[in-house]
């Protein structure tokens, strides 16, 4: 089982898309093991986006993610990283396929609704940045046997 961090960004929160986005990950078969509604601090945003420090878009990225509340979720499942990224669609919304979150609801890369971990290692690091281990709930759904082999 892999873990991934999903952030429902301020644009999605402001547009009332929280429930729709959560539902898409649940329908995909990913299991929510942690979830919070937070106002991200600048410090946390800078740590989260540290890999982009020094890039021209870094400051606007940090300012954007702290501009309003976000939902952070830890999801778990078989190939959770790839499953979540496929569900989200391409980072550049104009390249995202119809049926994906970004393809259905996004227009611009700077307002692309969701963040998802891009590797198993980053998934572990990002989940740990936003959640204490005690905040994650390991559980089984009765439907898991119909989703996971």
Instruction: Indicate which residues carry an active-site annotation.
Output: 115
User: Alpha-carbon distance 135 to 109, whole Å?
Assistant: 31
Return the structure tokens found at 136.
Answer: 């994650």
User: Alpha-carbon distance 102 to 119, whole Å?
Assistant: 19
User: Alpha-carbon distance 143 to 124, whole Å?
Assistant: 25
> What ranges make up the beta strands (E) of 19-131?
31-38, 70-77, 114-116
Rounded CA Rg of the chain: 15
Placement of tokens 């971990």 in the chain:
117
Spell 39-54 as b/e; 16+ CB within 10 A means b: ebeeebbbebbeeeee
């Amino acid at each position: 089982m892999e873990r991934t961090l999903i952030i429902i960004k301020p644009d999605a929160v402001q547009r009332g898309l929280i429930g729709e986005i959560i539902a898409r990950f649940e329908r995909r078969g990913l299991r929510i093991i942690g979830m919070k509604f937070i106002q991200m601090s600048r410090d946390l945003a800078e740590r989260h986006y540290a890999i982009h420090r020094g890039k021209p878009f870094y400051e606007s990225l940090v300012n954007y993610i702290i501009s309003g509340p976000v939902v952070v979720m830890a999801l778990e499942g078989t190939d959770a990283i790839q499953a979540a990224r496929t569900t989200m669609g391409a980072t550049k919304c104009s390249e995202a396929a119809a049926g994906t979150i970004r393809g259905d609801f996004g227009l611009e890369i700077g307002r692309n609704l969701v963040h998802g971990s891009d590797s198993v290692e980053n998934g572990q690091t990002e989940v740990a940045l936003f959640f204490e281990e005690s905040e994650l709930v390991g559980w089984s759904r009765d439907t898991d046997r119909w989703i996971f082999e």
